[in-house]
Amino acid sequence: MGEYIEDPVLGKVIFIHYGSFREILGNAPTEEWEEELRETVIHELRHHVESLAGVDDLAFEEEAELAAEEAEDEEEEE
What are the φ and ψ backbone dihedral angles of 17, each rounded to 5 degrees? -95, 100
The reported pLDDT for the residue numbered 77 is 81
Q: Tell me the H-state helices in the chain.
A: 18-25, 30-53, 57-77
The model carries a pTM of 0.81
Nearest to 5 by CA among 50, 47, 57: 47
The reported pLDDT for the residue numbered 64 is 94
Q: Alpha-carbon distance 58 to 45, whole Å?
A: 11
Per-residue pLDDT of the chain (78 residues; tens, 9 = 90+): 999 999 999 999 999 999 999 999 999 999 999 999 999 999 999 999 999 999 999 999 999 999 999 998 888 887
The reported pLDDT for the residue numbered 78 is 75
The reported pLDDT for the residue numbered 74 is 86
Q: Which domain holds residue 48?
A: 2-77
> What is the distance of C-alpha 43 from the center of its chain?
6
The total number of structural domains in the chain stands at 1
